[in-house]
């Protein structure tokens, strides 16, 4: 019994011959014949093809893989502690807002804008506050806390310098005009 006859008997046994049309039976035979021909070349006794050796990676590929692994590690660490990172950023922004509200730009001198001065102000604000989470979230907090305040202080100090320079120029102009008027009338 050949493959075609075996397939036709399997197809014929699943469908009653009197209920299917000859056209449908012919289509089933053609499909079964095509499958038998396709599988004829693959024998279960054939040895499996030898596995291909893995392709050698170039230095560029190795470097790219290392970078991708580190990036994925950073992404995983961020996603696992995402809430803590956002909480740290929020607390840093709140510290900056507190420092801006406490600043007195109308005082006698310029506002302190040195890194150590601002870090001291930040530390003074966070005394007694709850921690910001794990080490990475704490690093986020330290990187952001005081950053906006520093920008505010620079802008305030520049504005005060400009104001003082304009006041000095106005005073000098007033004095020269006053001397000019006095010398003309005397």
Does some domain include residue 60? Answer: no
Within a domain: 116: yes
167 and 91 fall within a common domain? yes
For residue 181, is it within any domain?
no
Span 73-83, pLDDT tens digits: 988 887 887 88
Classify residue 87: in a domain, yes or no.
Answer: yes
pLDDT, one tens digit per residue, over 88-103 is 888 888 888 888 888 8
**For the chain, what is the domain count?**
2
- The reported pLDDT for the residue numbered 50 is 66
Do residues 144 and 132 lie in contact, with contact meaning Cβ atoms separated by under 8 Å?
no
- Would you say residue 68 lies in a domain? no
Tell me: do 15 and 100 sit in the same domain.
no
183 vs 44, which has greater pLDDT? 183
Same domain, 91 and 27: no
Q: What is the mean pLDDT of residues 100-108?
A: 83
Same-domain check for residues 17 and 87: no
pLDDT grade for 10, boundaries at 50, 70 and 90: very low
If DSSP codes are grouped into helix, strand and coil, which group holds residue 173?
helix
Q: Please give the pLDDT value at position 145.
A: 84
89 in a domain, yes or no?
A: yes
Domain assignment present for 172 = yes
Residue 4 pLDDT level (bands cut at 50, 70, 90)? very low
Structural domain includes residue 42: no
Residue % of the chain over a pLDDT of 70: 67
CA end-to-end span of the chain: 139
Query: So what's the pLDDT on residue 170?
Result: 95
For 11, the domain range is 3-31
Which of 69-101 are b and which e, b meaning 16 or more Cβ less than 10 Å from the residue's Cβ? eeeeeeeeeeeebeebbebbbebbeebbebbee
- For the stretch 18-61, pLDDT in tens is 455 555 565 656 565 555 555 555 555 656 666 676 778 888 99
88 and 163 co-located in one domain: yes
Nearest by Cα to 164 from 176, 172, 147: 172
Which pLDDT value is given to residue 62? 92
What tokens appear for 160 in the block?
A: 């005060």
Q: What is the pLDDT of residues 128-142, one digit of tens each?
A: 666 666 777 778 888
Q: Which residue is associated with the tokens 């660490």?
A: 77
For the stretch 141-175, pLDDT in tens is: 888 888 888 899 899 889 989 999 999 999 999 99
Contact 149, 98 (CB under 8 A): no
């Amino acid at each position: 019994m050949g493959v075609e006859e075996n397939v036709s008997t399997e197809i014929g046994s699943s469908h009653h011959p009197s209920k299917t049309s000859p056209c449908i039976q012919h289509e089933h035979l053609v499909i079964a014949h095509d499958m038998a021909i396709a599988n004829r070349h693959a024998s279960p006794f054939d040895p499996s093809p030898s596995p291909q050796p893995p392709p050698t990676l170039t230095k560029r590929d190795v470097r790219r893989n290392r970078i991708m692994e580190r990036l994925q590690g950073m992404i995983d660490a961020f996603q696992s502690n995402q809430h803590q990172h956002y909480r740290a950023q929020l607390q840093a922004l709140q510290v900056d807002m507190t420092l801006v509200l406490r600043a007195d730009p109308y005082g006698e001198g310029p506002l302190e804008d040195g890194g150590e001065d601002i870090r001291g102000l930040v530390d003074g604000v966070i005394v007694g506050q709850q921690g910001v989470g794990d080490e990475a979230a704490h690093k986020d907090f330290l990187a952001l806390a005081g950053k906006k305040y520093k920008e505010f202080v620079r802008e305030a100090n520049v504005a005060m310098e400009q104001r003082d320079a304009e006041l000095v120029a106005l005073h000098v102009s007033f004095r020269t005009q006053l001397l000019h008027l006095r010398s003309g009338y005397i």
